[in-house]
Structure 1
Amino acid sequence: MSVSIALSVLLVVIVGAALAMQAPVNAVLARELGDPTAAAALSFAIGFVVLAALAGLRGAGLPSLTTLGAIPWWALMGGVLGAIWVWAAIWSVPRLGVVTMFGAMIVGQLIAALLLDARGAFGMEARAIEPTRILAIAMVAGGVVLSKA
């Protein structure tokens, strides 16, 4: 494994750990504010400020309306999908616990990934739906069931 790949994997592992912390931290924020949607909005507002500051430090400005108009509409949906993720995590972690919530979300990610791979979505190379891949997802889903048993 190259150093670049190893560092990329390490970064993703660290971010995964941060996400595990984000869900219960945001759940506490929701409890303190009395509403999961307000907590998600505040979390995103703080994230926006941090990212805007980082973009400014890197010399990147906000895109023009012309640039935004040339981008496919679906390429702008990341923020919407992220907002739904944060809200769902805030809402579900007090009900399910962190392990079960993340397990269930990972099952959803794996199912979507399987379908995206099969279609070769977003310009990716198509990969067949194999029985072993379905079994792998089923095993993760079994782990979700066991985590709440």
Structure 2
Amino acid sequence: MTQPPLLVALAAILLGGACIAVQAPMNARLAAHAGGPVAAAAVSFGVGFAILAAIALARGGLPPAAAVAAAPWWAWAGGALGAVYVWAAAWSVGSLGVVTLVAALIAGQMSAALVLDATGAFGLRPREVDAKRLLAVALVAAGVLTSRL
């Protein structure tokens, strides 16, 4: 798979971030009609699956089952991690508000990212955890606290 140019990659992830912010209150509203955040997350994942399957089919088809089955066991956990996020966001957005939810989400992502970079987990190239990177995480954490003042 080829890597996208930097500006295209930034634009895509900015769009993804905006989608995350919008997704939480949408799923919270769905939860009110679906019987709770777990049911809403299941519906949300079903819609997402249908869209992604349609795109995969339009681009040449789904991968062979044997190829996917050959992936390491931990590679299959991504969907479970996504389910935790969708449930947690739908469940907590009413208490936190979207700004605090997203700030806390980013703080959690950055904290985990430090560990992943430092260890080179999941086949990543290890990267040094230096003072600048620690400060970046601390500033985002301060943003979480500031958003609640």
Q: Tell me the TM-score normalised to structure 2 length.
A: 0.91
Post-superposition shift, 1:69? 3.0
Separation in structure 2 between the aligned mates of residue 53 and residue 18 of structure 1, nearest angstrom? 19
Amino acid at match of 1:98: V
Amino acid at match of 2:52: L
Question: For 1:108-147, what aligned pairs fall within 5 Å after superposition?
Answer: 108-147=108-147
Post-superposition shift, 1:63? 2.8
Question: For 1:1-149, what aligned pairs fall within 5 Å after superposition?
Answer: 4-64=5-65, 66-149=66-149
Deviates more, 1:39-48 or 1:122-131: 122-131
Separation in structure 1 between the aligned mates of residue 63 and residue 7 of structure 2, nearest angstrom? 32
Secondary structure at the aligned position of 1:77 is classed as helix
Structure 1 moving runs of 4+ over 4 Å: none
Structure 1 unaligned residues grouped into runs of 5+: none
Amino acid at match of 2:98: V
Post-superposition shift, 1:60? 1.5
- Render the CA deviation track for 1:3-39: whole Å, top value 9, x for unaligned: 8221121111112112111111111101222311000
Post-superposition shift, 1:126? 1.3
The alignment of Structure 1 onto Structure 2 pairs a total of residues equal to 146
Amino acid at match of 1:17: A
Amino acid at match of 1:138: A
Separation in structure 2 between the aligned mates of residue 61 and residue 125 of structure 1, nearest angstrom? 29
Post-superposition shift, 1:62? 4.6
Separation in structure 2 between the aligned mates of residue 124 and residue 86 of structure 1, nearest angstrom? 25
Deviates more, 1:77-86 or 1:128-137: 128-137
Secondary structure at the aligned position of 1:32 is classed as helix
Separation in structure 1 between the aligned mates of residue 55 and residue 101 of structure 2, nearest angstrom? 30
Secondary structure at the aligned position of 2:5 is classed as helix
Separation in structure 2 between the aligned mates of residue 68 and residue 62 of structure 1, nearest angstrom? 7
